[in-house]
Structure 1
Amino acid sequence: MTQSIEQKLLSIGELARETGASVRSIRHYDEHALLTSVRATNGYRVFPIAAITQVRQIQRMIATGFSLADILSFPDCMRMIEGAGTCPETSAAQRKRLASIERQIADLERRRARLLKTLAEGAVPPLD
């Protein structure tokens, strides 16, 4: 690899600083084929500048509740554009994730109501 090409690439540490992601997370994303790294002449991983956008987008999707497997299945319109909204190819997966989150919220609300009733009555209420 020539020096001029290496200058256009980021070390894993630089990528971590630019994105706020940990080095460990970046390695994890790379191992799951969400990023593309190459080995520099010194054997270390280096990443193209576009990896900054990719890592930020991966972080956003994880924060929304998507797994790495979900994210890997998304087309480039979701993974390669920072702040990308929805793509026609991903709207079904997003609706499915939303339904899952809504089920979790409903379950938590039931548990909360049950616990509040327990506290108010001083005894665990029977199951509904």
Structure 2
Amino acid sequence: MHPLFNEVLGKKDLSRAGELFAIDDRSIVKDISELLTTIKRICNSSNYVNQHNDQSVVEICLTRIISAIRDTNTIEDHARALITLLECCLLYNLKPTGKDQDPPHAKIASEVISFIFLVQNDKII
């Protein structure tokens, strides 16, 4: 895993998350499995729904990962890993908790589903 992802995901260091967008896409896609496994572990933690910093770290990292997959045109290689993350989210409450307030797992699921549908016309996944 790229050292910066290790810093951001491993230490949940939100202050460096913006730097993830400077990492080369190829460096990211070679570590997709490990990155998504780490995100899944964070999302499955018992207190994730109350940890706003963790949620922000996951959202930014997932956005960067999806961007790398899109830009390298490798959805077919990584669809299974994204579906596994989506399946993890489906174990949690996805119903809005209030006006315009989606639970954190719903945000992840929404991002993954949106990406899959965005590229589904171009690829067989």
**Same-fold status (TM-score > 0.5):** no
Bigger radius of gyration: 1
Please report the TM-score for the alignment, with normalisation by the length of structure 2: 0.25
